[in-house]
Amino acid sequence: MNRAPDRSSRVRCSAMGLALLIRNGTIVDGSGAARYRGDVGIAGGRVVEVGRVASVAERTIDADGLIVAPGFIDGHTHMDAQVAWDRLGSCSCWHGVTTVIMSNCGFALAPCRPKEREWFARCLTAVEDIPTEAMLAGIDWTWESFPEYLATVQRLPKAINYGAYLGHSALRMYVMGERALTEKAREDDLTAMVAMVKEAIRSGAMGFSSSRATTHVTPDNTPVASRIADWAEIDRLVGAMAELNAGIFQIGPDISGGEAQRRFFARLKQVAVATRRPVMFGAISSLQGDKPNPWTYQLEYLDDCAAAGATMWGQATTRSINAIFSLKSYLPFDVLPAWRALRELPLAEQKRRLADPATRRQLVAAEATMKPRDNVMQGGGAATTDPRKPDYENLYAMKGVDWDDPTIAQLSAQRGAHPVEVIIDLTLQNENQIFVQPLVNEHPDHVLGMLRHPRTLATFSDSGAHVCQEMGSSLQTHMLSYWVRARQAFTLEQAIRKLTFDNASAWELGDRGLLRVGYRADLVLFDEGRVKPAMPTVETDLPGGARRLVQKAEGIAATIVNGQVTLENGQSTGATPGALLRGPGSIVPVA
């Protein structure tokens, strides 16, 4: 459970001296109030003094010229496996994030019987693009139940804070076995699942997560278990949280478009109104799908739900959600036989053959045989592993992080060359060249409209998922560099509130999200004139040398978690003060 701040600690801790003092910073406290110059004193993992601080400290950081703000909170991540081998919590940690909520969309590693571990890992492979072998090598899988998983996360050394949902697909598989992938739940199944939802909430789950998204499939390309459930099952499981008056219901929405999406949202409204539990879903703008609804539809829906007495939040990102391509990961043509044979070769040999005129002609000709584009919504996984013929007007050659890259169509016209030749030339010039295909949120003004709505949260990074297919972990630094500095659509104070206090409030993290006396000392120090995402690269730093996209940041001087400096200028200090955050329904004693 997350306790309310203990403001009485100021006098007690000050008399003992400070562990850390941050001097001469410009404080933006997360409330939306105007910035001010001041010092911050930290002791016992909490902020104990703010203003002009005269106390003695073991360490002092001179923050002159830097913004001092609460650490950022990311409520939509999939770091359930990664937490087992990545102490830092990357890539989120590099962008000022100090707290994440994982196990979104029903995907989780618990509950899980030992004999089903490989299947669970394969399912996460389908979602997160981490090889099953790497996952099994990186996880010391000692748990079965959800409370045991939380206990494992609590024990693990970690540099950021983690909270977790109970995932619907995992729950269904545990209770129903293989029937979970094909059948509706029986009464005995529902009774068992209701009991386990209550057990999870009491052990510290942030809530219960599920998915109805058509893009969420098993390794066999069939619907994940949560999509087989009927709405009566959802009613019972969210109702179990309502009985305890605790827990958030997070769901991956139907994004197929048109009438199907409207039916989904109408039924979700019934759940929210009946149970009175907070509900969250990913709010997006999309041109994909079958007769896609206008981007304003979901915002109007949020207002309608509020008028009906429901607490409903849309989780928004700060830019397009993209499929990422590169020579070192996926290219749009990898499924074609001529390309597949080349792409299985070592990188140096690929480059040699790509420079050969005869090979290039063969590869360009092969592109004409690709599947044509259709009206089926594709996520990052399908867009990279089962791609359609590219729309070169919607495929960008990434040259920076300012959302103004040239399209392949533009470069093709400028050079008088086939788009495939342009892609080949760019990769030969720079083997780290990244290509970006927006899947949703294609128009910046639509994204801005969603971010400005009072019932959306800036918190949809998907960090930990699609590790070599998408890159959303830079959400926070993109917010600061693009929407604050470049577009001036938000003041710095407004943006920081959206990344901190608004998210902390939505997840009921009562002692985080503000820089105030008594609150947990989760802080980020950055240069507001320089902060921005760095360019992404493909690295082989997963267990067993598997690849992933890595995106760091510029302009962040220090990150502090529970009073300890974890990162300085992007480099780890080795400190691992991160905590497991248990939800407000937890009855587990606070350590």
- Residues 430 and 486 reside in one and the same domain: no
Which parts of the chain have pLDDT scores under 50? 7-15
What confidence score (pLDDT) does residue 14 get? 46
* Residue 507 domain-assigned (yes or no): yes
Determine contact, residues 101/206, Cβ cutoff 8 Å. Answer: yes
Q: What residue type is assigned to position 124 of the chain?
A: L
- Packing angle, helices 258-275 and 296-307, rounded to 10: 20
* Residue 38 domain-assigned (yes or no): no
CA distance 438 to 495: 24
- Residues 334 and 196 reside in one and the same domain: no
Q: How far is CA 308 from CA 231, 275, 276, 539, in A?
A: 20, 12, 11, 48
Which of 436, 460, 484 is the last residue in one of the domains?
436
* Residue 119 domain-assigned (yes or no): yes
What confidence score (pLDDT) does residue 467 get? 87
What confidence score (pLDDT) does residue 361 get? 96
The kind and range of the H/E element at 25 are strand 18-27
What confidence score (pLDDT) does residue 281 get? 98
The residue behind tokens 């996460």 is: 124
CA distance 62 to 118: 49
**Residue 288: exposed, middle, or buried by beta-carbon count in 10 A (0-12, 13-18, 19+)?**
buried
- Residues 353 and 272 reside in one and the same domain: no
- Residues 299 and 329 reside in one and the same domain: no
- Residues 347 and 483 reside in one and the same domain: no
- Residues 379 and 473 reside in one and the same domain: no
Determine contact, residues 352/346, Cβ cutoff 8 Å. Answer: no
- Residues 355 and 229 reside in one and the same domain: no
What confidence score (pLDDT) does residue 12 get? 41
* Dihedral sign, Cα of residue 508, residue 465, residue 580, residue 519: negative
Which of 406, 436, 466 is the last residue in one of the domains?
436
What confidence score (pLDDT) does residue 265 get? 97
Q: Fill in the DSSP letter of residue 223.
A: B
* Residue 177 domain-assigned (yes or no): yes
Q: Which of 172, 164, 239 is nearest to 207 (CA)?
A: 164
Domains contained in the chain, number? 2
Helix or strand or coil: residue 101?
Answer: strand
- Residues 158 and 251 reside in one and the same domain: yes
- Residues 299 and 175 reside in one and the same domain: yes
In whole angstroms, what separates CA 150 from the centre of its chain?
19
- Residues 205 and 336 reside in one and the same domain: no
* Residue 591 domain-assigned (yes or no): no
Which of 436, 468, 498 is the last residue in one of the domains?
436
* Residue 226 domain-assigned (yes or no): yes
* Residue 4 domain-assigned (yes or no): no
Helix or strand or coil: residue 20?
Answer: strand
* Residue 328 domain-assigned (yes or no): yes
- Residues 459 and 523 reside in one and the same domain: yes
CA distance 196 to 176: 13
- Domain encompassing residue 258: 72-320+441-554
- Residues 377 and 477 reside in one and the same domain: no
Contact partners, residue 370, CB within 8 Å, separation at least 6: 332, 333, 335, 336, 387, 388, 389, 390
CATH of the domain at 309: 3.20.20.140
